[in-house]
Amino acid sequence: MNEIIESVKNLSIGFNSQKGKQISILRNVSTNIKKGETVGIVGESGSGKSTLALAMMGYIKQGLFPLKGECIFKSEDLLKMSSRQLEKIRGRKIAMIPQNAGQALTPNLKIGYQIDEALKLHTNLNKTERDKKISELLNKVRLPSPETMAFRYPHELSGGQQQRVAVAMALAGKPDLLLLDEPTTGLDVTTQAHVLELLRFIAKDTGTSMIYVSHDLGAIAQVSDRIVVMYAGEIVLEGPARKILKEPIHPYTYGLLKSIPKLSLAGLPASMPGSQPQPGSINEGCSFYDRCNLATDNCKKNSPDLEHIKELDTNVRCFNYKELINQNNNLQTSITKKSNNSEANEVLKLKDVSISYAKQKFFDQLLNKISDQNPTVKDINIDIKKGETIALVGESGSGKSTILKSIAGLLKTKDGQIKFENDRILSSDLKMRNPNDLRAIQLIFQNPDESLNPNHTVEQILSQPLKLYFNLSGEELKKNIIGLLKKVRLGEFYMSRYPRQLSGGEKQRVAVARAFAAKPDIILCDEVTSALDVSVQAAVLNLLQQLKEDLGTTYVFVSHDLAVVRAISDRVAVLYQGRLCEIGPSQNVYKFPSHPYTEVLLGAVLEPDPDIKPKLVAEDIVEEKPPEKGCSFQGRCPRKIGDICNSEVPPWQIGENGNAIRCHINIKELASLQQ
């Protein structure tokens, strides 16, 4: 157990800037990986965690080069090896499981070939033995019908299946060390929980050491024995997983854990101010100085060393860590938010809304009608009150973004009506809406990199809605822009900046400001925090809540992240395959009894706590189309009672605590089943 497999010593990796300055991305990183151990490397984007993981395979991305230090694997330095020598180690001794298996599998080669390639390179088996081994491997990663799976192309599999193939491929060479680079990011919650479960099983079964790189402390908590926390290219905290997650003694880790929304906690997570420094802009002193609330003058001038604390078996890079020891009982707190006035009027009503993506037939096009018996989204009835935050949750393909697009007028509805203010019907065609309605409903998109025009300055971006809806110009326009920036806590000097000069969080603030520029009644938020780092996410959530409390805006908040939804929403609607499963006040939806699908989703959420394990109650099958009749969740339901689920659409039942559930099982019985 204590044999060291790979050790990184004083590794620094960097690049040459355009001014000829050497800029390091990794600074003086040292760590050891022991046999049979799973090490989680966690950090936000830009912390250098992927660069470190790749360097541990002797791979340095183009444009980067090692400045000093070494990566010793079995007494040899990987960074000094020739590519011939590395080919012998990669895949055979150290194997990689990539972040996005969908893109990491070569599209023109069959699954079987790609696994066979690894077997041919790294084993001495003959053709028939290899064929047998391929089905064995596919079976081991629990893919259905492994014999036929080998003849399929990567794109014919679902995301979870592709990730399993990548695992099988990595296991082909029987490596001593597995490197996992965000292996579950981008998968649906239930799939993610299943893949993690598989990885844990494999680690135990084969005794392979693993390095698990992720930004997601929830996933790290489930698999790691030891955790390494990276910040701005340095290790800031390293120790046993339980200690790091329960009693973090570095202020960054502490803040990071506090900024993660948790299922068990109502209210918003606390946010950390600022953002991670860019490589090259780190001066003397501690790199976390600007964001730290324990910082002293000493931290500004001197940068702390990684200090080993024997009694905690932990390495920490902080002068003042002692202040955090035994202070951690308040990790489980959050900012309570003002609940909205439930007496308020309804501002938006969705009545029997159905939306279809089916291609119109020629004659239907002429008659401007859509004939689709089984539309993507069907029978959506939601009344949204003024000033409330309603969240639509579900996995990919649940139709949550589709509904959002229809409210925005970007997608025509097939049936049903969208009513706005005093039951006035909004046209489903954007061109038919009057300018005031267009102003009243604004959208914030998932990825600010794509939703902000890269050739416009912040001033131009914000002036467009102001000019369009309020005809402002000159001094008044400028005053309004500054006011908007202040609202989203950005200074006046941001006006002349371009989006590329802003950090991810700042960009999303600009996008929020642009939506509020129109003084909208309703803001549609489409996964607005999923492209952001955790600490930035918390800040954006707090900002949205603050603006809502000040201005009384209504939010329709779409997200796949149940913990985020828990934090921000007043009411939650759970969707599966474009059909509503459950709707109710959020504190009740997160309490049982709930719809079997909600139960599955809640069970799969990963909490940053090694003691809370996900419950895997349903298979992670991907359904391509909603069922023609019956309950939408019939294909995966763990509580299916029989034919009635296949043939009849379940009725709505209202639970004691006010959440409505669409299920054939009596709600009282559900409650006792879920106890």
Partner 1 sequence: MLLLILKRIGLGLITLFIVSLITFVGVEVLPGDACTTYLEREAYGAALDACIKRLGLDVPAYERYLDWASNVIRGDFGYSLSGEMPINEVLGPRVKNSLVLASVSILIGIPLAIVLGIITALWRDKLPDIMISTITIFSMTIPEFISATLLILIVAIWLGWLPGIVIIPSDATFYELLSNIILPVVAISMIMTAHMARMVRSSVIQVMASDYVQMAILKGVPYWKMVFRHVLPNALLPAINVVALTIAWLLGGVVVTEVVFNYPGLGRLVIESISNRDLPVVQALAIILASIYVGINLIADLMTLMLNPRLKSLQIRK
Of 118 and 564, nearer to partner 1 (C-beta) is: 118
Of 84 and 431, nearer to partner 1 (C-beta) is: 84
Q: Minimum Å distance from CB 423 to partner 1? A: 42
From the number of C-beta atoms within 10 Å of its C-beta (0-12, 13-18, 19+), residue 21 rates as exposed
The single residue among 33, 52, 95, 272 that binds partner 1, judged by CB under 8 A, is: 95
As a whole number of angstroms, the distance between CA 35 and CA 389 comes to 49
| 106 part of the interface to partner 1, by CB under 8 A | yes
| 487 part of the interface to partner 1, by CB under 8 A | no
Of 111 and 517, nearer to partner 1 (C-beta) is: 111
Q: Minimum Å distance from CB 152 to partner 1? A: 9
Q: Minimum Å distance from CB 165 to partner 1? A: 11
Of 48 and 218, nearer to partner 1 (C-beta) is: 48
The single residue among 76, 77, 117, 346 that binds partner 1, judged by CB under 8 A, is: 117
Assigned token pair, 274 = 């600022």
Judged by CB under 8 A, how many residues of this single chain contact partner 1? Answer: 34
| 81 part of the interface to partner 1, by CB under 8 A | no
C-alpha pair distances (Å), 54 with each of 31, 95, 593 = 14, 11, 45
| 55 part of the interface to partner 1, by CB under 8 A | no
Contact region with partner 1 (CB under 8 A), list: 26-34, 54-62, 282-290, 530-538? 54-62
* Long-range contacts, stretch 280-286, CB < 8 angstroms, 24+ apart: 280/17, 280/21, 280/23, 282/232, 282/233, 286/317, 286/318, 286/319
401 residue type, one letter? S
Phi, psi dihedrals of residue 390, rounded to the nearest 5°: -105, 135
| 396 part of the interface to partner 1, by CB under 8 A | no
Of 96 and 404, nearer to partner 1 (C-beta) is: 96
Q: Minimum Å distance from CB 207 to partner 1? A: 21
Sorted by sequence, the CB contacts under 8 Å of residue 526 that are 6+ apart come out as 401, 404, 443, 444, 445, 446, 558
Contact region with partner 1 (CB under 8 A), list: 104-112, 197-205, 382-390, 531-539? 104-112
Of 117 and 561, nearer to partner 1 (C-beta) is: 117
Q: Is the peptide bond before 593 cis (omega within 30 degrees of 0)?
A: yes
Q: Minimum Å distance from CB 82 to partner 1? A: 11
Between β-strands 660-662 and 579-585, what pairing exists: parallel, antiparallel or unpaired? antiparallel
> What are the b/e assignments for 415-448, b being 16+ CB within 10 Å?
ebbbbbbeeeebebeeeebeeebbbbbbbbbbbb
Q: Minimum Å distance from CB 57 to partner 1? A: 6
| 16 part of the interface to partner 1, by CB under 8 A | no
Q: Minimum Å distance from CB 354 to partner 1? A: 24
The single residue among 98, 279, 304, 584 that binds partner 1, judged by CB under 8 A, is: 98
> In 3-state terms, what secondary structure has residue 394?
coil
Assigned token pair, 622 = 């991907």
C-alpha pair distances (Å), 182 with each of 101, 159, 174, 185, 463 = 10, 14, 21, 5, 39
CA nearest 160: which of 631, 579, 623?
A: 623
Which residues inside 120-179 make contact with partner 1, applying CB under 8 A? 121-122, 153, 155-156, 166, 169, 173
- Kindly list the residues in this chain that would bind partner 1 in the complex (CB under 8 A): 54, 57, 59, 62, 83, 86-92, 95-96, 98-100, 103-109, 117-118, 121-122, 153, 155-156, 166, 169, 173
